[in-house]
């Protein structure tokens, strides 16, 4: 949140800010994040009106833009998403595999509730720009339940990767390369990368990556040591599948077995985040509070996700029609994929929403993988709506990270126990 606020303040000449409101339904966390955000506001724009609230009506009333990033069940539940599958040798990940499916079932209702608050209180022209995970499932479910909602689902992984691409090509910013890309969220491929002189730099980039590997992340968030293996695995994926440049999340599907073997079942990414970023946030808030804001806090504010969400909002607000990778209904842009699949493709962002570009037909390998993944995601959304145990079992079984229906059932049963109070009851 402080990273996004910093990006907003730095770009305030481009994206006009009248007022900023922070909303959280968790008062304790709101207080800590609020202390840091207030500090960031004092650093970059002390005149700006900042309100902190746990009341959705106060938060959403007359809002133009709502930047959403919720984590339902907090890190304690992320830990379950990661550890339960790992007990059975299956990838434990917050958006991929059974972990993502479980997280999806927790997040559908709170996202719909957020949309309803916006419909009720925000300006009729509101836009929700949403980072909440698992973005693919959230997108599918909210689109089904609230098809008219003004919500755009986005992900920072492509831009974080494109920042590395740009640096390897001697360029500066993630949007110094214009991508042609197709896929689903956390599941896609770049086919071309045009620079400002309209040259496709992908052949050159591929050669460089095959020689040197993908440049380490230039994004603060993804420079964390436990992200390093993800960056290193990039070359391996490209070696096995040299046609396109992959989204890093494909490692969990293409090398599901090896990924699971590499994970420590007793100490997963959730533990690393709780012991790292979360602790740090509490400490920095304490430092600011105790020194009355006099001590310079050590904040990691330079992240691609902050700039990206502001770039996206800016294009919508001023109808700039800038072209970005976002998650939208397919509507034929990949003709072999279902019309209503939520795909991640380049879109021109207009005041009235995203306009996807036509991708055309895609090769069998990518198509097969995408159909399997999109089916798994659709089945979990069906399970939610129908309260269907059977559909949930099918979603878990369909997922490429799960080796058998027997394993799927074991994981699902454990997930049901762990998610009591979060999931609808499945029958
Ligand atoms: C990437 C993904 C996000 C995800 C994040 C997790 O940025 O695009 O969707 O939430 O990684 O990062 P973390 O540091 O929490 O493991
Ligand atoms: Mn993401």
| 300 Cα–ligand 1 center, Å | 15
Secondary structure of the chain in HEC code, one letter for each residue: CHHHHHHHHHCCCCCCCCEEEEECCCHHHHHHHHHHHHHHHHHHCCCCEEEEECCHHHHHCCCCEEEECCCCCHHHHHHHHHHHHHHCCCCCCCCCHHHHHHHHHHHHHHHHHHHHHHHHHCCCCCEEEECCCCHHHHHHHHHHHCCCCCEEECCCHHHHHHHHHHHHCCCCCHHHCEEEEEEECCEEEEEEEECCCCCECHHHHHHHHHHHCCCCCCCCHHHCHHHHHHHHHHHHHHHHCCCCEECCCHHHHHCHHHHHHHCECCECHHHHHHHHHHHHHHHHHHHHHHCCCCCCCCCCCCCHHHHHHHHHHHHHHCCCCEEEEEEEECCCCCCCCCCCCEEEEEEEEECCEEEECCCCCCCHHHHHHHHHHHHHHHHHHHHHHHCCHHHHHHHHHHCCCCCCHHHHHHHHHHHHHHCCCCCCCCC
The two tokens of residue 12 are 């305030």
**Helix axes 97-121 and 389-398, enclosed angle (nearest 10):** 120
Among the bound ligands, the one closest to the CA of 300: 1
* Residue whose CB lies within 8 A of the most ligand 1 atoms, among 164, 185, 220, 273, for a mutation test: 273
Look at residue 378 in the predicted model and tell me its pLDDT: 98
Look at residue 199 in the predicted model and tell me its pLDDT: 98
| CA dist., res. 132 & res. 94, Å (int) | 11
- Each of the 427 residues of the chain gets a pLDDT tens digit; together they read 999 999 999 999 999 999 999 999 999 999 999 999 999 999 999 999 999 999 999 999 999 999 999 999 999 999 999 999 999 999 999 999 999 999 999 999 999 999 999 999 999 999 999 999 999 999 999 999 999 999 999 999 999 999 999 999 999 999 999 999 999 999 999 999 999 999 999 999 999 999 999 998 888 889 888 899 999 999 999 999 999 999 999 999 999 999 999 999 999 999 999 999 999 999 999 999 999 877 667 777 778 999 999 999 999 999 999 999 999 999 999 999 999 999 999 999 999 999 999 999 999 999 999 999 999 999 999 999 999 999 999 999 999 999 999 999 999 999 999 999 999 999 9
| CA dist., res. 159 & res. 217, Å (int) | 11
Look at residue 90 in the predicted model and tell me its pLDDT: 98
Active site residue 156: yes
Q: Is 70 in the pocket of ligand 1 (CB under 6 A)?
A: no
Look at residue 420 in the predicted model and tell me its pLDDT: 98
Q: Is 303 in the pocket of ligand 1 (CB under 6 A)?
A: no
Burial string for 157-170 (b: 16+ CB within 10 Å, else e) reads bbbbbbbbbbbbbe
Look at residue 146 in the predicted model and tell me its pLDDT: 98
| CA dist., res. 62 & res. 84, Å (int) | 42
* Residue whose CB lies within 8 A of the most ligand 1 atoms, among 70, 74, 156, for a mutation test: 156
What is the end-to-end Cα distance of the chain in Å, rounded? 38
Q: Is 133 in the pocket of ligand 1 (CB under 6 A)?
A: yes
Look at residue 292 in the predicted model and tell me its pLDDT: 84
Look at residue 298 in the predicted model and tell me its pLDDT: 75
Look at residue 217 in the predicted model and tell me its pLDDT: 84
| 62 Cα–ligand 1 center, Å | 30
| CA dist., res. 221 & res. 230, Å (int) | 13
| 385 Cα–ligand 2 center, Å | 24
Look at residue 19 in the predicted model and tell me its pLDDT: 97
Question: CB–CB of 326/27 below 8 Å?
Answer: no
| 272 Cα–ligand 1 center, Å | 12
Q: Is 156 in the pocket of ligand 1 (CB under 6 A)?
A: yes
Look at residue 170 in the predicted model and tell me its pLDDT: 97
Q: Is 273 in the pocket of ligand 1 (CB under 6 A)?
A: yes
Among the bound ligands, the one closest to the CA of 271: 1
Look at residue 225 in the predicted model and tell me its pLDDT: 86
| 182 Cα–ligand 2 center, Å | 15
Whole-model pTM? 0.97
- Nearest-CA residue for ligand 1 atom 15 is 273
């Amino acid at each position: 949140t402080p990273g996004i606020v910093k990006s907003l303040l730095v770009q305030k000449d481009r994206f006009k800010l009248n007022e900023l409101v922070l909303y959280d339904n968790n008062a304790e966390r709101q207080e800590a994040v609020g202390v840091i955000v207030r500090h960031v506001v004092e650093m970059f724009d002390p005149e700006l009106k900042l309100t902190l609230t746990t009341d959705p009506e106060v938060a959403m009333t007359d809002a133009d833009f709502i930047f959403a990033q919720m984590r339902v069940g907090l890190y304690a539940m992320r830990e379950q998403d990661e550890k339960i599958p790992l007990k059975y040798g299956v990838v434990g990940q917050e958006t991929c595999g059974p972990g993502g499916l479980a997280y999806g079932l927790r997040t559908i209702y709170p996202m719909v509730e957020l949309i309803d608050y916006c419909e009720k209180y925000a300006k009729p022209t509101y836009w929700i720009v949403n980072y909440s995970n698992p973005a693919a499932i959230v997108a599918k479910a909210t689109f089904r339940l609230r098809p008219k909602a003004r919500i755009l689902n986005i992900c920072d992984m492509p831009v974080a990767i494109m920042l590395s691409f740009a640096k390897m090509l001697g360029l500066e910013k993630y949007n110094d390369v214009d991508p042609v890309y197709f896929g689903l969220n956390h599941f896609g491929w770049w086919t071309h990368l045009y620079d400002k002189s309209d040259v496709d730099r992908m052949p050159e980039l591929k050669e460089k990556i095959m020689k040197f590997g993908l440049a380490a992340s230039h994004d603060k968030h993804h420079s964390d040591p436990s992200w390093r293996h993800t960056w290193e695995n990039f070359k391996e994926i490209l070696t096995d599948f040299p046609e396109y440049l992959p989204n890093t999340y494909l490692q969990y599907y293409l090398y599901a077995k090896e990924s699971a073997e590499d994970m420590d079942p007793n100490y997963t990414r959730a533990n690393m985040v709780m012991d790292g970023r979360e602790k740090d946030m509490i400490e920095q808030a304490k430092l600011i509070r105790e020194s009355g804001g006099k001590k310079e806090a050590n904040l990691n504010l330079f992240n691609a996700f902050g700039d990206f969400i502001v770039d996206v909002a800016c294009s919508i607000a001023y109808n700039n029609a800038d072209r970005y990778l976002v998650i939208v209904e397919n509507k034929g842009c990949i003709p072999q994929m279902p019309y209503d699949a939520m795909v991640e493709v380049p879109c021109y962002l207009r005041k009235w929403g995203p306009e996807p570009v036509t991708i055309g037909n895609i090769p069998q390998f990518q198509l097969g993988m995408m159909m399997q993944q999109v089916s798994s995601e659709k089945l979990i959304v069906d399970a939610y709506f129908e309260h269907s145990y059977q559909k949930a079992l099918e979603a878990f079984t369909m997922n490429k990270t799960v080796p058998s229906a027997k394993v799927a059932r074991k994981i699902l049963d454990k997930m049901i126990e762990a998610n009591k109070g979060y999931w609808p009851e499945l029958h």
